[in-house]
Amino acid sequence: MNTAANVSGPALRTERFAALREDGLADQRLEGWFDAVKFGFHDAKADPVDVARYAESYDLDARVLTAVYDDTVRPGVWDPAVPVATYATMQNTINIGGGVLLPAHLVTAVTVRATHRRRGILRRLITEDLYRAADEGLALAALTASEATIYGRFGFGAAAFGRTVQVDVRERFGLSVPADDAGGVEVADPDLLAALGPEVFARFHARTRGSVGRQSSYAQVVSGRWGQHKPEPDRALRAAVYHGADGAAEGYACYKFAGWDASPRAVKVVDLVAATPAAYLGLWAYLGSIDLVERIEYPLAAVEDPLPWALRDGRGYQVTGEEDTLWLRILDPVTALQSRSYAGAGSVSFEIADPLDLAAGRWRLTAGGGEASVEPLAADAAVDLRLGVEALGSLYLGGTTAHTLAAAGRVAGEPGAVARLDRLMALPERPYCITHF
């Protein structure tokens, strides 16, 4: 792939390309593209050797990279090979419940240089990209947002949330682990997680609504082959694996000591993946038993985390932050809504407002027996509810309720119709996503 087009004026040039060329070498544009991404996210400039490693990983993900260049000649301006805007996409699956892993269009590495804001660059990039994804037959687009004010205007809604927690593991720590749990935890060589980690995650992904399939770099990071911010060995990383009664690996945790200068002394969890509830509690029992540590810090706990309920003293569990972990954008409401499962039965009609007109229209949702059908209605048909496509994205996985969005002014309609939509779309637990992309 190698395409070029003008965007937002004759001096701006857009190119889309893959990380690796056909000869297997990194594309010559990749180093400048990385410089722009690192600049946008305030990270140190990438080493050229690192770029080559990233290129191989990106190729495994089949990422499509986009760069916008400013060809205006001006003295003293940064290297023109460094784009003024970046954008990247790849495909992976999202667990939408009911055992369904739905292919989705994932958006990442979005930057626009401060000197080139308000020229419509991002609007053009994301609009054309979402149209392209819809044309390819994808029903969902997703991203993780570094700034919450940007993506709602393009139809994305916050769909899953996570918590940052601190757990006191001094004398007060103790778990009420079921007596019949025949599993156990063993310290592991992190390198083994290069192969074992994706296998465990696949089991977690299959059972966890809201989970997003992981890109190839995760296996490198959890194995210690790469650090979290640089593709070189992380020798400080430690790992533990939970094995079930049959000896199969059902979970793992990789973690790092925060250092002797930290007060209180803490261990920071880099990644914790549990395919079963027993594995989750078993790994926490191990983390809480590590010597010379007073606190465990975990940045991706579920909103409905069972851990505080399993602790003998739940006050040792402190939530220090909560934020959105996944944003969804409905591209095809028929496919998206007919693919998920439904606990309720009945019917409700609604109008979707969409700034890009991808999902706009009036529709009737009829559910029963765990499934649903979606029927398009005439443009002048009476409907029970009105909502934006971003609100539908927030409702889709059960991250919030129509009642809550109606109270916030995001869903309009009679209370009875709002309650009916909630009954149709209700799900037993909140979505949970532990994948950054």
Residue 178 pLDDT class (50, 70, 90 cuts): low
Distance of CA 308 to the CA centre of its chain: 24
The contacts of residue 258 (CB under 8 Å, 6+ apart) are 265, 266, 267, 268, 297
pLDDT digits (tens, 9 = 90+) for 56-106: 999 999 999 999 999 988 888 899 999 999 999 999 999 999 989 999 999
Query: Is residue 59 classed exposed, middle or buried when 0-12, 13-18 and 19+ CB atoms within 10 A define those classes?
Result: middle
pLDDT digits (tens, 9 = 90+) for 362-421: 999 999 999 999 999 999 999 999 999 999 999 999 999 999 999 999 999 999 999 999
pLDDT at position 218: 97
Report the CATH architecture of 332-425.
2-Layer Sandwich (3.30)
| 140-143 and 101-112 beta bridge pairing | parallel
DSSP string, 88-144: EEEEEEEE-STT-EEEEEEEEEEEE-GGGTTSSHHHHHHHHHHHHHHHTT--EEEE-
Nearest to 360, CA basis, from 340, 380, 389: 389
* 168 sits in which H/E element: strand 157-168
Is 111 annotated as a binding-site member? yes
Write down the domain spans for the chain: 2-143, 162-323, 332-425
3-state secondary structure of 286: helix
pLDDT digits (tens, 9 = 90+) for 228-256: 989 999 999 999 999 999 999 999 999 99
* 51 sits in which H/E element: helix 48-61
DSSP string, 326-345: EEEEES-HHHHHHHS--SS-
The torsion angles phi and psi of 215, rounded to 5 degrees, stand at -75, 165
The neighbouring-strand residues paired with 85 are 68, 112
pLDDT at position 343: 87
Nearest to 13, CA basis, from 75, 67, 87, 90: 67
Is 121 annotated as a binding-site member? yes
The torsion angles phi and psi of 200, rounded to 5 degrees, stand at -65, -45
pLDDT digits (tens, 9 = 90+) for 321-359: 999 999 999 999 999 999 999 988 999 999 999 999 999
Q: How many CA atoms lie within 13 A of 267 on its CB side?
A: 26
CB neighbours (10 Å) of residue 241? 25
The fold adopted by the segment(s) 162-323 is Aminopeptidase (3.40.630)
Is 120 annotated as a binding-site member? yes
pLDDT digits (tens, 9 = 90+) for 264-321: 999 999 999 999 999 999 999 999 999 999 999 999 999 999 999 999 999 999 999 9
Active site residues: 151, 437
Q: Say if 2-143 and 162-323 have the same CATH topology.
A: yes
Rounded to whole angstroms, the Cα distance separating 228 from 129 reads: 28
Rounded to whole angstroms, the Cα distance separating 29 from 32 reads: 6
Confirm if 229 and 256 have CB atoms less than 8 A apart.
Answer: no
Average pLDDT over residues 195-215: 98
Report the CATH architecture of 2-143.
3-Layer(aba) Sandwich (3.40)
The contacts of residue 225 (CB under 8 Å, 6+ apart) are 191, 194, 231, 233, 234
pLDDT at position 180: 61
pTM score: 0.93
Is 147 annotated as a binding-site member? yes
Rounded to whole angstroms, the Cα distance separating 236 from 254 reads: 10
Average pLDDT, the chain: 94
Confirm if 82 and 37 have CB atoms less than 8 A apart.
Answer: no
Residue 5 pLDDT class (50, 70, 90 cuts): low
CA angle 377, 378, 380 (to 5 degrees): 125
CA angle 237, 321, 87 (to 5 degrees): 70
Strands (E), 261-369: 266-274, 295-302, 317-330, 346-353, 361-368
The contacts of residue 353 (CB under 8 Å, 6+ apart) are 360, 386, 387, 388, 389
Q: How far apart are the first and last CA of the chain?
A: 22
Q: How many CA atoms lie within 13 A of 168 on its CB side?
A: 12
pLDDT at position 182: 81
Is 16 annotated as a binding-site member? no
pLDDT at position 148: 83
